[in-house]
Copies of this chain bind each other. A is one copy, B any other.
């Protein structure tokens, strides 16, 4: 079994960079202290070591597969994994005590999830999906609904899923056609098809709770007419019995990665017998779903960072053990080969991976912290946390998945020919990762969200809050002589964001909305470099002050030196591409308009 994460880095992020201890001062989390929280995280590592990581390859080689009879066959270990995760509190852990949870800060809950994602990302999908769906029922459901579903989900006996996509609509939720006809007492008769439903009806759970977007008869067109329904496979009757509900798995999708994770096609009401229970109010389904969707986007970003981290750790371990070749300056063929970690190009590949994965994971933890603050604080502070979370959500999703794929590609490359073989896990990480830029809204959609909604929200306040945060970090770093150069570099790139937004804003102001948004993905790339540069400058500033104080109680001197070094590496090798993106965005030509499709021949 290869190494798959760095507990030292995780501890550094929680304890030093993102200061989880601050959260224990809030009443909601006052039942915890650092030692308890860290013990919880360490228990996740033990669970992952024992029950998840050893099955990473096996679950890929025996893919979840439709059995032709309405169910999906999964690897036999999956049932144990879900049960163990549930028992240790890793499904409902972030829920309040009153709903059967452990009331963990999202930072701690997701530190545990990070470990599972790095160890075996497909199987973590099953229970994180359940957790998100249960939280949604808890937020908007009636007491009766909460009681009927949530405990069973948290106990890992029932699997919950989100059912949005339809064959004809794809990412365009406006075009959803699944119908809901009122029957009685909040119960509707459902008819429709959903595809790409992760965690769909498999053999490791007893019941399936599909949170489903549908249109009530006569609802307004577009997204304003979408409602949210709870559609169980087996309906829990008042007397406690379960009745089949005509919500069946009609097939599955076989995939290039995450092969242990079922992806299903669901048919509701093919035999006119599908009941759905309205969640919350009619026509508000999409806004409800966005609670889960936003958490899922951060979750996908964190998963991508975690899978890339696992690939990095595996390639680092290989590079430290594999002798091959000699440095260019060593001409004597009789000298023993050196470890490949000593080759500059291998170091470049490893440092690139370290910069991407540790940077992305730091951003995910920043988001987890903001989530916790948005749920503990009030007034301006809450609003500020919420604004920052809103603008960072599409970024953590996109940077981690796009650059995570590149990072895993470098992991394969570090192992050379071996990396391409199924004897090593890095090729599986590479395959698994490709879905992350598609899940929960593709990179294109995230970028439209960033530039179209988040940058413009409250007259640009979210972006300005973010740039203020970055400004504080550059200011702090700038007070230390050896960090001044990097501080200045990052501030210059942050300023360039304003320049680009002002330039693009002219198109928006002129009503040229398609043009304003046409290069949203490039803007996403530019801002992502700046945001990850910010995470690295924060990490390096902390590490630098620790090195100055020469107290190494938490981590070793080499650990902190590694952080400063990786920051320098990111600033030298990655950050210049932010300016290249700006150059593209400021270029006067407009090349992706309706006419362009004619040029595509």
The 9 closest A-B pairs by CB, nearest first: A222-B333, A344-B518, A345-B444, A172-B325, A576-B580, A256-B427, A565-B599, A562-B599, A344-B592
Number of A residues whose C-beta is below 8 Å from B? 108
Is A39's beta carbon under 8 Å from chain B?
Answer: no
Nearest chain B residue, comparing its CB with the CB of A426:
B256
Is A124 part of the contact surface with B, judged by Cβ < 8 Å?
A: no
Q: Does A294 contact B (CB under 8 A)?
A: no
CB distance B562 to A600 under 8 Å?
Answer: yes
| Contact (Cβ within 8 A) B434 A416 | no
> Is A178 interfacial (CB-CB < 8 Å)?
no
Asked if residues B420 and A255 are in contact (CB atoms below 8 Å), the reply is yes
Q: How far is the CA of A470 from the CA of B350 in the complex (A)?
A: 34
Shortest C-beta distance, A242 to chain B (Å), equals: 31
Contact bitstring A569-597, B, C-beta under 8 A = 1, else 0 = 10011001101110110010101111011
Docked pose: A437 CA to B413 CA in angstroms: 8
User: If A174-B325, A576-B580 touch, does A601 touch B558 (CB 8 Å cutoff)?
Assistant: yes
Q: By the criterion CB–CB under 8 Å, are A565 and B591 in contact?
A: yes
Closest to A569 in B: B591
CB-CB nearest in chain B for A9 = B601
Contacting A416 at CB < 8 Å: which of B438, B513, B594?
Answer: B438
> Quick check: A594 and B420 within 8 Å, CB to CB?
no
Complex interface: stretch among A28-36, A148-156, A269-277, A335-343: A335-343
B327 lies within 8 A of A514 (CB): yes
Interface residues of A in 182-232 (CB under 8 A from B): 195-196, 221-223
Point out the residue from B170, B349, B513 that lies within 8 Å of A329, measured CB to CB.
B513
A253 touches B434 (CB 8 A): no
A17 within 8 A of B: no
Q: Mark A503-536, 1 if CB is under 8 A from B, else 0.
A: 0000000000110011111100000000000000
Check B521–A443 contact: CB distance below 8 A: no
A350, B573: Cα distance in complex, Å:
27
Q: How far, in Å, is A179 (CB) from chain B's closest CB?
A: 16
A residues 414-464 in Cβ contact with B at 8 Å: 416-417, 419-423, 427-428, 430-431, 434-435, 437-438, 442-444, 447-448, 452
A58 within 8 A of B: no
- A427's partner among B171, B434, B556 (CB-CB below 8 A) is B434
Q: Which residues of B contact A172 (CB under 8 A)?
A: 324-326, 337
Q: Does A24 sit at the interface, judged by CB under 8 A? A: no
Confirm or deny: A546 has a beta carbon within 8 angstroms of a beta carbon on chain B. no
Q: How distant is A314 from chain B, measured CB to nearest CB, in Å?
A: 13
Instruction: Given A416-B442, A599-B566, verify A452-B347 contact (CB < 8 Å).
Output: no
Complex CA distance for A558 and B595, rounded to whole angstroms = 11
| Contact residue among B8, B520, B587 (Cβ-Cβ distance under 8 Å from A572) | B587
Complex alpha-carbon distance, A347 and B438, angstroms? 17
A265: shortest Cβ distance to chain B, in Å? 11
CB distance from A590 to the nearest CB of B (A): 9
Q: Assess A409 versus B413: contact at CB under 8 Å? Given A256-B430, A599-B566.
A: no
**Chain A, range 158-180, C-beta contacts under 8 Å to B:** 165, 169-172, 174-175
Name the CB-closest residue of B to A485. B589
Let me know if A342 and B597 touch, CB within 8 A: yes
With most chain B CB atoms within 10 A of its CB, the pick from A327, A417, A518 is: A417
Q: Select A196's contact among B8, B328, B417, beta carbons within 8 Å.
A: B417
A32 to chain B, nearest CB (A): 29
User: 9 additional contacts, CB 8 Å, given A222-B334, A420-B434, A569-B591?
Assistant: A171-B416, A174-B325, A175-B333, A328-B448, A344-B593, A347-B593, A558-B598, A562-B599, A576-B584
Minimum CB–CB distance from A442 to chain B (whole Å) comes to 6
A405 on the B face (CB < 8 A): yes
Of the residues B8, B196, B326, contact of A601 by C-beta under 8 Å:
B8
Is the C-beta of A568 less than 8 angstroms from some C-beta in chain B?
yes
A38 within 8 A of B: no
Does any Cβ of B come within 8 Å of A250's Cβ?
no
Residues in B with CB closer than 8 Å to A593 are 344, 347
Query: Which residues of chain B come closer than 8 Å to A448, judged between CB atoms?
Result: 328, 345
Pick the contact of A514: B165, B329, B339 (CB < 8 A). Answer: B329
Q: What distance in Å separates the Cβ of A114 from its nearest Cβ neighbour in chain B?
A: 18
Among candidates B337, B349, B409, B572, residue contacting A584 with C-beta atoms closer than 8 Å:
B572
Name 7 A/B residue pairs within 8 A (Cβ), A-sorted: A175-B337, A195-B417, A255-B421, A328-B514, A347-B600, A348-B518, A573-B584
Is A71 an interface position by the 8 A CB rule? Answer: no
Residue ID in chain B nearest A447 by CB atoms: B345
Question: A residues 349-369 with Cβ under 8 Å of B?
Answer: 349-351, 354
Complex Cα distance A452/B345, Å? 13
In the complex, what residues of B have CB within 8 A of residue A562's CB? 598-601
A514: chain B residues within 8 A (beta carbon) = 327-329, 344
A298 interface residue per 8 A CB criterion: no
A254 contacts the other chain (CB 8 A): yes
